[in-house]
Amino acid sequence: MSHNVVAEPKPKNQQQWKMAASGAGVIVCRRIEAGLEVLLSMRAKIVGEGFGITGGGFVKCDALLAMPIGTVIQTADEAFGEACEENGGFETVISKDAFLERAQSVCQIHARIDDLNEVHVANMYALRAQSTAEWNQFKALPPGIEDGGKSERSGPLLPYVVRWSSPIDRRKPERFVTIENPEGWQLRLSDFFHPHEFHAIATIAWYEQNGKLW
């Protein structure tokens, strides 16, 4: 007598596929007549040179694993923590609670990356300055000093202008915007250590173009 043998399905994502490294980031921005202005960082050699967003990094999953099963943390809180680590005094400009209320989740992506993690899942937040005074406070923040006396940021935060002249495709927004300094020098994808950060900035432009930026 023959029997039909049905293979038992394997549970998804149980060491069958490489899991993405979870990260969170912040892009401080403001509206200007030409479009948007954003605050970018120049990354230090210890974390890989190149342009970067205002602040960001990996979610501290080791801390979460030490918590009881069922614990939920806010990814925005992780983004806030990273911004504080990379920008000295960030928490003096905006509190953790105010950040949770104001930070707008604008970009949730998985990106293929040329590093040991190979895949990043990035959760990016736009934080729009509410006044010129607040903008200037963020802009003046010095590089944060982390454990060991090192800084992941090299030099001051840099204001760059984001422009667009046609409808932006949300799936490929980086094709429709330019990011340039006050002298008109344009950044390319390759100028960013993580090219998906260019994508995240361009996504904020899509939100602004469509009247969805808080």
Best CATH choice for the domain 21-209 from the list 3.20.20.370, 3.40.50.980, 3.90.79.10, 1.10.510.10 = 3.90.79.10
Domain coordinates of the chain in residue numbers?
21-209
Give 88-95 contacts, CB < 8 A, sequence gap 24+.
88/141, 88/142, 88/143, 88/144, 88/145, 89/141, 89/142, 90/55, 90/138, 90/141, 90/144, 93/134, 93/137, 93/138, 93/141, 94/127, 94/134
The answer on pLDDT for 191 being more than 70 is yes
pLDDT at 52: 97
pLDDT at 11: 64
For 28-70, the pLDDT digits (tens) are: 999 999 999 999 999 999 888 999 999 999 998 889 999 999 9
The answer on pLDDT for 3 being more than 60 is no
At residue 18 the predicted structure's pLDDT band, cuts being 50, 70 and 90, is confident
Q: How many CA atoms lie within 13 A of 73 on its CB side?
A: 19
Give 178-187 contacts, CB < 8 A, sequence gap 24+.
179/38, 187/51, 187/160
- pTM of the complete model: 0.91
- Mark residue 184 as left, alpha or beta (left: phi above 0; alpha: psi -120 to 50; beta: remaining): left
Question: Residue with structure tokens 């043998």?
Answer: 5
Lowest-confidence segment of 60-64, 100-104, 154-158, 189-193 by average pLDDT: 60-64
For 132-178, the pLDDT digits (tens) are: 999 999 999 999 987 778 898 999 999 999 999 999 999 999 999 99
